[in-house]
Amino acid sequence: MVNKYRLYWTLQIGGWLVYALLQIGYSVDAAGTISVRRVIFLVIEALLCLILTHFFRRFANRGRWLNLNMARLIPRILAGVVVLSLIIYFLKIPVSLLL
């Protein structure tokens, strides 16, 4: 039997780790090099995304979104994506300024 809790965290951490590594790889490919500050920024960005998507999942589970029909689910998902994007954007600003 698959442990859903372990699978969730494996996919969550693995997915955001792959995201960070791809961003680092693209930065190196585009500029030919990458600064330590840029790597730190990208790792922090991935951690912020991991935390926020985890809390979004908890919010959606508490609201029983998976029990909704598509007509009610899609607007909630779209609104959630917009809200998460804005939160991530505004959280990245102070990180960028510090680095």
Contact 71, 37 (CB under 8 A): no
pTM of the complete model: 0.83
Those residues with Cβ within 8 angstroms of residue 95's Cβ, 6 or more apart along the chain or in another chain: 41, 44, 45, 48
pLDDT on residue 1:
63
Do residues 87 and 52 lie in contact, with contact meaning Cβ atoms separated by under 8 Å? yes
According to the model, what pLDDT value does residue 26 have? 92
Tens-place pLDDT, residues 5-17: 999 999 999 999 9
If one counts every other C-beta atom within 10 angstroms of the C-beta of residue 77, the result is 14
Span 22-32, pLDDT tens digits: 999 999 988 88
Mean pLDDT across 61-76: 94
